[in-house]
Each structure stands twice: as C-alpha cells, then as structure tokens.
Structure 1
Amino acid sequence: MTAPASSSTTPINKQVGFINAFIAATLMGFVGFFARHIDAQGDFIAFSRMMCGGILFFAIIAYKGRLLELKEFKLSPTMVLSGFFMGNCLSAYITATQHTSIANAVFFIYIGPIISTLLAVIFLKESMKLATWFALLAVFIGMMMISGLMSIDSSGLSFGMQFSEKTFFGDMMALYSGVGYGLFLFFGRFRTEVPGDVRAFWNFVFALAGITLLFVFTKPTISQMTSTDWMWWVGIGIVCGFGALGTCTIATRHLKAAEFACVSYWECVVASLFVGLMIYGEPLSSAQMIGGAMIIVGGMSEVLISILGKSFKRPDNVTLKAGSI
C-alpha cells in the first residue's frame, strides 16, 4: 500500500473536512431513532443505508454530467476494502446490539476511530501533536461516560463493562464492528485524488456487495414489515446512509485520521442529548453530562488546533476540479 496520493484534482480543505465530519456525526446519532421504528433485522436496515447512498450519489454524479469520472478514476484494493468494511462494520454493530449489551456494543465500535488513528500514524506517517493526543483521550473517555460505561458514585469512578459466555457472540460481533469501522476510516485515507462523491459512490457499491454476501448466512425476512416500516426504512437510508456515510467519506478525504476521530464522537452527544433526552425523555446522569462536555471540548479543541495550525495556514498548491468535493 502507498500513502494517499495528491493531484490537481485533490485540494485538501480542513474546513470542508470538519463541516462534513460534524454533519456525518450528527446524522449518525439518529440511527437509533430510525431503527426503533423498523421491524427488521439489523443487516437489512444497514442494506437500506448502502442502497440509498449508492443510488443518490450516482444520481448526483449523473446530474452533474460526470459519469465518465467513474471510469476515469481506476478502482484500487483500498477503495474496495473501504466500502466493504463500511458495510460490514454497520451490519456487525446492529447484530451486536441484538446479542450483547448496548454499552459493550458502543464501546467496541468506538474503538474504530482509535484504530484508524494508530494505523494512520504507523503506516501513513501522519503526525500527531501532543494536544491532539489529549483531545482524542478526552473524547474517548467522554464516550465511555455518556454511554454509561463509566459512572460516578460515592466511591468515585466505576467501570461497568461486563462479559459472559451468553453474550460471547455479540461481543465478538461488536469487536468486529470496531475493527471494521477503523479499517473503513483507515482505507478511506487512500486515493484522496478521487473526488469525494465518486469515492462515496464506490464505497456504497462495495458496502452493498458485502452486506448482500452476509444475507446468505443471516437470511433476513421482510414479510413482517408494514408500510410504516418501509417508510422508516427508506428514511434511515436517506438520512443515515446517503447523508451520514456520504459526508463521512468526504470528511476522511480532507482530514487526518485523528482529526476525524475527535469529531466523530459528537455522535454520542447527539444520540444521548437530542434523541435520548429531547425525543424520548431519557434523563442524563451527571457522569453522562460530564462525558458530553468532554466530547464537545475535545472535539472543538482539535478543530481549533487544526485550523489555526501551520499546516492549515499553508496555501494549497492545487486547484479544485469543477464539480468535485
């Protein structure tokens, strides 16, 4: 594998990256809200996200008259793997929530950004400032607190993760979801010369192929789904598929792995505050509020570090090709 390439079609814009990362994390936070209204297996729900994303990005590229770019930019193993792991990690995560605790499932999938950061530092030689390490640590601890894995009681902080033989399969699926998420983000750092919408389209295509392959083993059923289920199924595909995963793909093109990781945990705040508290009236504990504050502070500090840093002040030596993202 080689490091991400740079070309005349590939300006790296931190502002575009952070805006798309923030949108992606916000929309991802509504996955649970949509999923609660759909009576279907998790992998079939994930199928909607990949299908809607692929169709809508193809429509956008066609509308812009750029279909030839799908052939102009040759496919590579990293593009295939990025899409494959995107589909597999989401299917594995939803499966995990059905066979182990939500806390365990959340913890494992959110080691994904940490994995992608470490891989990028080792293999892509992406530099990491000390302040970025602290920001990443803050948002990770914040994630554990807001998801209920860490709590505050009379004896101090306590860690509430539990394992058992009964939940072994679910825990392994959760672990795979985290590894898959990390690999999706890591492989997304390659081929940055490809416009974001073109990369997103191929990501959805190969994610769709990976999920379809899983259907051979999971054999999902749809006979129980009502018209309301189908409406929500399409809705999650548009909002949490096309919207969330599409902007996620665009963000990874412009941001280093650590930069994206720090912002990605905003999803936890959205899920707990906007969905859990405001929509379903689920109260937040003091530990969860502290965790949410740590995610906000850690994420925003990384945005400021990157935007005010010397790398951002250096003028781009490339120009943006018309119509690319």
Structure 2
Amino acid sequence: MRDAPAPVPISKKVGYTNAFIAATLMGFVGFFARHINAQGDFIAFSRMMCGAILFLLILAAKGRLWELKSYKISWSMIASGFFMGNCLSAYIAATQYTSIANAVFFIYIGPIISTLLAIIFLKESMKASTWFAIAAVFIGMLLIVGLIKVDANGIHFGMEFSQKTFIGDMLALYSGVGYGLFLFFGRYRTDVPGETRAFWNFVFALIGITCLFLFTKPTIAQMTSTDWMWWIAIGLVCGFGALGTCTIATRHLKAVEFACVSYWECVVAPVFVGWMIYNEVMTPIQIIGGILIIVGGMSEMLMSTLKKAFANQAV
C-alpha cells in the first residue's frame, strides 16, 4: 500500500469558490424537486448515489483509487457523511408537513450550529467583522423567506407552530441539527484530499438514507420516465455538483466562513428560481434580505482577500 501524499495546502480561494458554487447549485433543489413525483428521501438518494459514482470515476480517471485505502476512515468521516444524507432527507420530508418558511429557518440554523461547535471544540476564532457577517446573512435569510415582516404596525416575526405541523417542524429541526453536524465533522481530517473526502461522504450518506428506507418505505410505482430523468438530473446537479463542492469547501474554510457563503442559497432560490423561472414577485423586504446576505457573504471573502494581499506585500 502506498504512503499517503503530503496534504494539499489550505487555500481560501479554492474554499470560497467551491462554497459559492455549492450554494448556487443547492438553490436549485426546489426547481428539480418540483418535477419529481417521489418521496423526499428517495430524491435525496439520487443526490448521494450520483455523487458517489462520479467521484469514484474521477478518482479512477486520475489513477488515485489507491487513496481510498491509504487514508484510513475515521469516525468523523462516517459522521459527516451520515448527517449529510439524513439532514437533506429530513429537510425535503419536512417541506411536506410544515411551511417552507419553517423548514428553511430550521435547516439554516445548521451553519450557526457548526460555527458554535467549531469555536468550542476546534478553537476557531471569531473576529468582529465575522460576527457582523454571520448576523447579516442570518437576518437576511429571515427577511427573504418571510419570517420577519415589516408593516405600519411595526416588525413581526412570522413563524407559527401548531399540532398539525409538529412532525414537519421536528423533521426540520433535525435537518438543521444534522446540517450543522455535517459541516462541523467536515472540518476534521483536512489531510484527506477533497475528492476522496467527497466519495466517502456520499457513501456514508447513502448508508444513512438506506437505513431511513426501513421506516419510510418509499415507492417508485408512480414515477414516469420524465420523473426518472429529473431524478437523475437532481443527482448530478444538486448531488454531485452541490454537495461535492460543499465537501471540498469545508476542507479549506473555517466553519463560519463557509456558513456566511452558504446563505447565498437563500438568494438563488427566490431570485433565479422563483422570480426568473416562475415569475414569482419579490417584495422590497425580500430584496433587502438578499442584499444583506450578499453583503455578509462577500465581506468575509473580501476581508480574506485583502488580508492575503497585505501579507504578500509585507513579504
């Protein structure tokens, strides 16, 4: 068995580029899912399956299959993949039992959870500018999904709970916790190359979703040839593309850096899918929310770029 090569240096440019691509492609999940007549966990299965197969082919094409043996599988790699599959399955299922606003709110506490865990356990630092960025993108998310509303009577928080939506809200909460744990555990084992990490993430995500099938018992009898084409498409775009680049990004970025960029998905969904494809109207409050997300996400990338530029000048 070959010795593992020296790890690729951490690159903020690679991290931010992949994080932006991941968030953009994730924003199109709803667009693809609308065309598939199947349960949420079966849709998520496509995303994990396509990711695992294509990353295996990439490793084979590069002559790097030996890396799958050289890098030992650790508990953090297993946990990262397991929670990746579970959180996405739970999120799609949650949208069927509760409001989209509630589902989006809960899953997007995930980046906050991963940030707090990274600060506590990985000792990742938080600057004042970073606190501003994470606050801006989170508030922007609340505005753009309609959870914060402003009218003549003041500011209102529009989240609602009821016994009827309890199951959906709990699924959404689990999706948020799972998302946070996926991102947090993804910060471990930065010695493993991105493609190899991504392959194992998808494999353990598949195992996790398959375990859920024992309880959800999804059926495919109702799926037509068109459904199957869209099922494969979401696997390629929102599975291999989005989750693969997400895994690579978490290797190069701190938890909070990835968190700030990940909220870009909340802009992509209403602007590129809702407004440009389905002609859904955006309110002024939603536009303000989108601007806050862009400012918050870009500020972290800009600060990192300027810091590197000044460091190079000093040398």
- State the TM-score, normalizing by the size of structure 2: 0.96
Residue-by-residue CA offset, 1:233-270 (whole Å, 9 max, x unaligned) = 00000000000000000000000000000000000100
Which residue of the partner structure matches residue 285 of structure 1? Answer: 283
Equivalent positions of 1:154-233 (< 5 A) are 154-233=152-231
Residue-by-residue CA offset, 1:211-239 (whole Å, 9 max, x unaligned) = 00000000000000000000000000000
Match 1:84 to one of 65, 82, 86: 82
Deviation at 1:158, TM superposition (A): 1.3
The number of residues matched between the two structures is 309
1:22 partner letter: F
Deviation at 1:311, TM superposition (A): 10
- Identity rate of aligned residues, in percent? 76
Residue-by-residue CA offset, 1:3-35 (whole Å, 9 max, x unaligned) = xxxx83131000000000000000000000000
Residue-by-residue CA offset, 1:48-92 (whole Å, 9 max, x unaligned) = 000000000000000000000000000000000000000000000
Which residue of the partner structure matches residue 60 of structure 1? Answer: 58
Equivalent position SS for 1:98: coil
Deviation at 1:309, TM superposition (A): 2.4
Which residue of the partner structure matches residue 29 of structure 2? Answer: 31
- Structure 2: distance between partners of 1:312 and 1:212: 49
1:31 partner letter: V
Which residue of the partner structure matches residue 254 of structure 2? Answer: 256
2:53 partner letter: I
- Structure 2: distance between partners of 1:158 and 1:137: 18
* Stretches (4+) displaced over 6 A: none
- Structure 1: distance between partners of 2:308 and 2:234: 39
2:204 partner letter: F
Change (3 A) 1:314 1:215: farther
Which residue of the partner structure matches residue 323 of structure 1? Answer: none
Matched-pair contact (CA < 8 Å) for 1:31–1:240: yes
1:111 partner letter: I
2:191 partner letter: E
Which residue of the partner structure matches residue 144 of structure 1? Answer: 142
Which residue of the partner structure matches residue 70 of structure 1? Answer: 68
Equivalent position SS for 2:95: helix
Matched-pair contact (CA < 8 Å) for 1:53–1:246: yes
- Structure 2: distance between partners of 1:195 and 1:30: 27
1:84 partner letter: F
Equivalent position SS for 2:143: helix
Deviation at 1:310, TM superposition (A): 5.7
In structure 2, stretches of 5+ residues that fail to align are none
1:173 partner letter: L
1:36 partner letter: R
- Structure 2: distance between partners of 1:210 and 1:307: 38
Equivalent position SS for 1:37: coil
Deviation at 1:312, TM superposition (A): 8.8
In structure 1, stretches of 5+ residues that fail to align are 1-6, 316-325
- Structure 1: distance between partners of 2:204 and 2:155: 42
Matched-pair contact (CA < 8 Å) for 1:306–1:312: no
Change (3 A) 1:311 1:85: farther
- Structure 1: distance between partners of 2:114 and 2:128: 18
Which residue of the partner structure matches residue 47 of structure 1? Answer: 45
Change (3 A) 1:312 1:253: farther
Deviation at 1:113, TM superposition (A): 0.2
Equivalent position SS for 2:130: helix
Change (3 A) 1:183 1:312: farther
Change (3 A) 1:164 1:311: farther
Change (3 A) 1:150 1:51: same
- Structure 1: distance between partners of 2:39 and 2:311: 47
Deviation at 1:153, TM superposition (A): 1.0
- Structure 1: distance between partners of 2:34 and 2:141: 22
- Structure 2: distance between partners of 1:195 and 1:313: 26
Residue-by-residue CA offset, 1:133-157 (whole Å, 9 max, x unaligned) = 0110000000010011111211232
